[in-house]
Amino acid sequence: MGDMRKAALGLIILLLMPMALVALESGQFRLLSATDVNKVILISQSPEKKVKYLLDASAAKITVDGKAAEFKQLNYYSVVNVKFELKKLSKDGISLDGVVSEIRILTPEQPKKATDKLPT
pLDDT at 3 (0 to 100): 76
Q: Which of 45, 38, 16 is nearest to 90 (CA)?
A: 38
Report the SS3 class of residue 31.
Answer: strand
Asked if the model's pLDDT at residue 111 lies above 60, the reply is no
Decide the pairing of beta strands 61-64 and 67-68.
Answer: antiparallel
Mean pLDDT of all residues in the chain? 83
Asked if the model's pLDDT at residue 117 lies above 60, the reply is no
pTM: 0.71
* 85-94, long-range: CB < 8 A, 24+ apart: 85/22, 85/23, 85/24, 85/25, 86/23, 86/24, 86/25, 86/53, 87/22, 87/23, 89/56, 91/38, 91/40, 91/56, 92/38, 94/38, 94/40, 94/54
Domains and CATH numbers, the chain: 24-105 (2.40.50.320)
Q: Using one digit for the tens of pLDDT, what is the confidence trace for 33-58?
A: 999 889 999 999 876 778 899 999 99
